[in-house]
Amino acid sequence: MPDRRLDLVFLWHMHQPDYRDHTSGEHVLPWVYLHAIKDYTDMADHLERHPAIQAVVNFVPVLLDQIEDYCHQVDSGQYREPLLRLLATPDLTHIPAADRKLLLEACFRSNHHTMLAPFPRYKRLHDLYEQLAPDGEAALAYLSGDYLADLVTWYHLAWTGESERRRQPLVAELMSKGEGYSLEDRLALLRLIGDILNNLVPRYRALQERGQIELSATPNTHPLAPLLLDFQSARESQPEAPLPQASTYTGGRQRLDAHIEAAQASHTRRFGKAPQGMWPAEGAISTGVVQQFATHGCTWLASGEGVLNNSITRDDGNPRRAAYRPWALASAPGITLFFRDERLSDLIGFEYAKWHGRDAAQHLIGQLEGILADSSRSEQPVVSIILDGENAWEHYPYNGYFFFEDLYGLLEKHPRIRTTTYAEILARPTPNRTAPSQLRGITAGSWVYGTLSTWIGDAEKNRAWDLLCAAKQSYDMVLGGGRLSPQESAMAERQLAICESSDWFWWFGDYNPSQAVASFDQLYRRNLANLYHLLKLTPPSQLDQPISRGSDVAATDGTMRRAQEHHS
C-alpha cells in the first residue's frame, strides 16, 4: 500500500514541582523561570519555525502557577526569587554574606560543557572562583561587587534560549560586551526575562488555536495517581515491594478527583478550553486510575511502554509491536490509551546529544521508517515519543537548536511519516483509524521501569508517605470539624495538594546526590509543617528530623546541585 503512513506523536511534557516556600513566599530553587527562558521558549520557537509539524504539549498546572507568579514579580518589581532580586540590586558590593554565597554557589549550576565553556568571559569568572575557593571565604572575599554583577548577568545569559539569542539584539549585545555590566544592562536583561515569561502562555495558545498543537494537562500538582488510590497497587508489578506503615492514603480517590478538576479549570482559564486528554504524573496508571479519568471526560491517556508490556502479560496475550497501536480498557469506556516508545524517546533524552544534529535526526527517521516497513500492511502504526520538554536540551549543543531544525525540517518533507496529535487521531472517521485493541486490566506502573518503585518501596520513600498520611488524617479531622473559615480551608487544601506531588518521593533514595536530596527533604518537611500551621495545629516533632539518611548534613536553601533528566 504505497499511501500507507506512520502517525508520529511527539508529547513534550513540561513540568517542575512547586519550589516556593509558602510560609515566606520565597522561591527556594530557580528552575521554573530558568527553564522557561531557555527551554519552554525554544520549544515554542521550533514549532513556530516549522508550521507543518504537529505535537502534543503537556503543561502541569503547578508549573503554570509559578510562571504566572514570576510574571507578577517582574511586572511589579517585587522579587521573591533571590537570583532575580540580586540581578536587580544596584550595588552588589555590600550585599549580605548569605547573598554572596548564594551567587557564588548558584551561578555556576549548569552543564558546563554546553553552557559555560563556550563563553570565554563566563568561563574566566568560573576559573577565578575555582582558583580562590580552596582557600575559603577569606580568599573569596577578594571577589568584588563588579565580579558578582558580571556573574549574575552571565548566568542568566547562559540560561537564555538559543532562539532568543538569535531574535533579541539585547542578548547578542550583552554577550558581546562580556564584562563590566551596569545596572542598566542588568535591568534591561530583567525586562527581557519578563517579556519572555509573559509571552509563553500566549505563544502556546496561538499554536493551539491555529491547529498545530494539542495542549494537554496533568492533574494539578503532579500526584502519583495509583498510590493515591491504593498503596497495594505497587505490588502489581513488584509483589514483594515493602509498603508504608499506613495501609492507605485516606480519601485518595476524592483527592485525585480534586487534582483532575483543578487541572481542567486551570487549563481552561489559560488556554481557552479544557484538555481533551492527559498525561498522568510520571505516566503512572492503574485500572482504577483509568476508570477515574474516564469519569472526568478525558478521551485519552498516555503511559509508558513497560506498563503496557506488564498488562499484556496479565492479559495472556502478546500482540506484535503492541505500543504502536491504540488500546482501550473495557471497564473505562470512552477513553483511549497510548503508550510511549521507550527506546526512541530515550534516544532523544539521553543519546542524541552526543551526535551531530543531522546524523541524529536522520537516524531517528530511519528507525521510524523501519517500524513502518515491519508493520502489517493492514496497520497504520502510531508511534508515541514522549519525554520531558526541558531537561535534555542543555546536554545538546546550542540547546538542541540544530537537532530540532534538522529533525522537524526532515519530517516536514517526509512523504510517509505524519506528525499528528492524539486529538486528531481520535477525530478521524472510524474507517480511517485503527480500532483500539482491548485490555482486560492495567498492571499498575509508570514510565520508569513500568513499576512504581521510584516513588514507594524504599524505607525513606515509605517514611515520606507515612508523614503525609498522618498530615492528611489531621487535615480530615480539622476540616470535618468545621474549625476553619472557607478561606482558611482553601489555603489548607492548596497546601495539601503541594504535599501530594510525586516529586518529593522521587528524590528520596541513595541514587540521587546527597545535597540535592537534602534540599528536597527540607522543603518537603517544611511544606508538611506549613500544612499543620494552616490547620492551626503544632507540627509533630518528626518533621524536625531529616527523612533521608544522607540529609543529616547541613542543607541550605539554594545550594542544591541539580540532578539531570530525573523524570525519564
Q: How far apart are CA 230 and CA 252, in angstroms?
A: 8
What's the angle, vertex CA 19, arms to CA 108 and CA 200, rounded to 5? Answer: 85
Q: Are 14 and 545 in contact (CB under 8 A)?
A: no
Q: Rounded mean pLDDT of 409-414?
A: 98
**Single-letter residue type at 146:** D
Q: Are 286 and 224 in contact (CB under 8 A)?
A: no
Q: Which domains does the chain have, with CATH numbers?
A: 73-200 (no CATH), 459-552 (1.20.1430)
pLDDT at 411 over 80: yes
DSSP states of 377-425: TT---EEEEEEESSSSGGGSGGGGHHHHHHHHHHHHH-SSEEE--HHHH
pLDDT at 328 over 60: yes
What's the angle, vertex CA 438, arms to CA 437 and CA 439, rounded to 5? Answer: 130
Interval 219-233: pLDDT, tens: 999 999 999 999 999
What global pTM score does this model have?
Answer: 0.95
Note the pLDDT of residue 476.
97
Q: Which residues pair with 384 in a beta bridge?
A: 9, 340
Convert 65-127 into a string of H (helix), E (strand) and C (coil).
Answer: HHHHHHHHHHHHCCCCCHHHHHHCCCCCCCCCHHHHHHHHHHCCCCCHHHHCCCCHHHHHHHH
User: Whose grid coordinates read 509539524?
Assistant: 53
pLDDT at 179 over 70: yes
Q: How far apart are CA 40 and CA 393, in angstroms?
A: 11
pLDDT at 553 over 60: no
Q: Which residue in 263, 338, 276 sits closest to 15, CA to CA?
A: 263
Taking the CA atoms of 241, 242, 247 and 253 in sequence, report the sign of the dihedral they define: negative
Q: Rounded mean pLDDT of 118-143?
A: 97
Measured in whole angstroms, the distance separating CA 150 from the mean position of its chain's CA atoms is 30
| 289-293, 326-330, 378-382, 539-543: least confident range | 378-382
Interval 272-304: pLDDT, tens: 999 999 999 999 999 999 999 999 999 999 999
Q: How far apart are CA 100 and CA 236, in angstroms?
A: 50
pLDDT at 485 over 50: yes
pLDDT at 396 over 60: yes
DSSP states of 460-473: HHHHHHHHHHHHHH
Residues 6+ apart with CB under 8 A from 392: 348, 349, 350, 353, 400, 565, 568
Note the pLDDT of residue 194.
98
Q: Are 375 and 381 in contact (CB under 8 A)?
A: yes
List % helix, strand, coil for the chain (3-state, nearest 5): 55, 10, 35
Q: How far apart are CA 34 and CA 36, in angstroms?
A: 5
